[in-house]
Amino acid sequence: MAVQVGIIGATGYAGLEIVRLLLRHPEVELAAVSSVSFAGKRLSEVYPSMAGCCDMELCDDKAVVERSQVVFASLPHGLSQGIAAACVEKGALFIDMGADFRLESEEDYAQWYGGEYTDKALHDMAVYAIPELFREKIKAAKLIANPGCYPTSVALGLAPLLKAGKIDPQNLVVDAKSGVTGAGRGLSQNTHFPDCNEAFGPYKVAAHRHTPEIEQVLSALAGGESRITFVPHLLPVNRGIISTIYAVPTQRMTAQELWELYKSFYRDECFVRVMPLGDAANLKNVRCSNFCDISLHPDQRAGRVIVVSTLDNMLKGAAGQAVQNMNLAMGFAETAGLELVPPAF
């Protein structure tokens, strides 16, 4: 019998995208979807795109937990801890789309998010889950912290170099650009069409909450403290993240050596594509898929290595990665429900 799966916060962008994936997942059945704002309505009343695909009525969080063996929660930070505890208690897999379980350091969490860890045992249980980097841990996980979109793009982009000790982990610049779905469904002046269309600029310069998360995962990969300058920008497209990363090599590498390092590192991965030398990653090639594309560009003139890493912020950067994590933790095929061929246009 199909595994019963529920989604808390199903009318947010990430939640809706999980629904969309699970509707075509061969191993699971949608048990319940919840929403605070739209409880009692059908999902297809909120999103007419879902008509005929998912006409389920939106219930409350409690009902989701009750009916599900796997629970995805897409909530504002601070709200996941209680639900996580309930899931763990009943033996359901809990996958948190938010930031509540991502940071190991409670101090960092307090500083960047302004909350505290009420149940430390729960936090010790949480697995920070980028499958390509932490697969074995994820297979055994009961509580999954699904990573942020920017951190995923940066960690996948730098892992081969950091693990091989080929770059200085303390001298990194990440210039990242995200499509507007990254800002969510909530209204704001910045995401009002006439303010956002034909516009472009950075935001939260060197002050974005993903900074400590990125440094945490890069430090783990480097085996030593990493320090970055991180500047995100808002891009007038719906989907996609691209990180242009500037690193300083610890030793000279040819383009070919660089490329081989990456090809070798990701040789068994089906969702990471290392592009041919000479090509540049572009978010259009990964949109609506679970791929992360990486292109490599040594700058011998200036003594830097440039890595460009791109993914769909809603899929490999959120819902897709969450389903991949579920697949691992539940023992399904890792690609189940994720065999999406990106449309070229």
Span of 133-141, 256-264, 268-276, 320-328 interacting with its own copies by CB under 8 A? 268-276
Measured distance CA(12)–CA(186) in Å, rounded: 8
233 binds its own copies (CB under 8 A): yes
Instruction: Kindly tell me which residue out of 135, 142, 163, 185 binds its own copies, with binding defined by CB under 8 A.
Output: 185
Residue from 205, 254, 256, 263 touching its own copies (CB under 8 A): that is 205
| 327 and 335 Cβ atoms separated by less than 8 Å | yes
Cβ at position 210, least distance to its own copies in Å: 14
258 part of the interface to its own copies, by CB under 8 A: no
Six token digits for residue 226: 């990493």
Residue with tokens 């809990």: 94
Nearer to its own copies, 110 or 205 (CB): 205
Minimum distance of its own copies from residue 69's CB (angstroms): 22
> Radius of gyration of the chain from Cα atoms?
20
- Estimate to the nearest angstrom the gap between the alpha carbon of 116 and the chain centroid: 23
Interface positions, 287-316, toward its own copies (CB under 8 A): 287-289, 291, 293, 295, 297-299, 301-302, 304, 306, 308, 310, 314
Q: Is 26 in the site for its own copies (CB under 8 A)?
A: no
Q: What angle do CA 336, 241, 343 make, to 5 degrees?
A: 55
Report in angstroms how near the CB of residue 48 gets to its own copies at its nearest: 5
Q: What is the DSSP letter of 32?
A: E
The residue (of 24 and 90) whose beta carbon lies closer to its own copies is: 24
- The interface mask with its own copies, positions 33-52, x = CB under 8 A, is --------------xxxxxx
Dist. CA 338–CA 42, nearest whole Å: 25
Q: Does 14 bind its own copies (CB under 8 A)?
A: no
Give min distance, CB of 141 to its own copies, in A. Answer: 27
Piece of 73-81, 145-153, 158-166, 226-234 that binds its own copies (CB under 8 A): 226-234
191, 219, 250, 335: residue in contact with its own copies (rule CB under 8 A)? 191
* Gap between the Cα atoms of 65 and 5, Å rounded: 9
| Antiparallel, parallel or unpaired: β 167-178 and 241-249 | antiparallel
Cα 254 to Cα 157, 300, 301, 303, 306, distances in angstroms:
18, 9, 13, 12, 13
Q: Which of residues 56-75 bind its own copies (CB under 8 A)?
A: none
Cβ(83)–Cβ(8) below 8 Å:
yes
Q: How far is the CB of 17 from its own copies (least distance, A)?
A: 7
CB 234 within 8 A of CB 184: no
CB atoms within 10 A of CB 39: 14
Give the binding range for its own copies (CB under 8 A) out of 120-128, 139-147, 201-209, 260-268: 201-209
Q: Does 275 bind its own copies (CB under 8 A)?
A: yes
* Contact in structure between 168 and 225 (CB atoms under 8 Å): no
Element (H, E) at 324: helix 319-330
Give the nearer residue to its own copies in terms of CB position, either 295 or 324. Answer: 295
273 binds its own copies per the rule CB under 8 A: yes
CB of 98 to its own copies, least distance (A): 19
Q: Is 198 in the site for its own copies (CB under 8 A)?
A: yes
Binding residue count for its own copies, defined by CB under 8 A = 87
Q: What are phi and psi of 255, to 5 degrees?
A: -55, -40
User: Does residue 133 touch its own copies according to CB under 8 A?
Assistant: no
Q: Structure tokens of 227?
A: 């320090």
Under rule CB under 8 A, which residues in 98-127 are in contact with its own copies? Answer: none
Q: Catalytic positions, please?
A: 149
Q: Binding residue for its own copies (CB under 8 A) from 4, 219, 282, 335?
A: 282
Q: Which helix (DSSP H) or strand (DSSP E) does residue 144 occupy?
A: strand 143-145
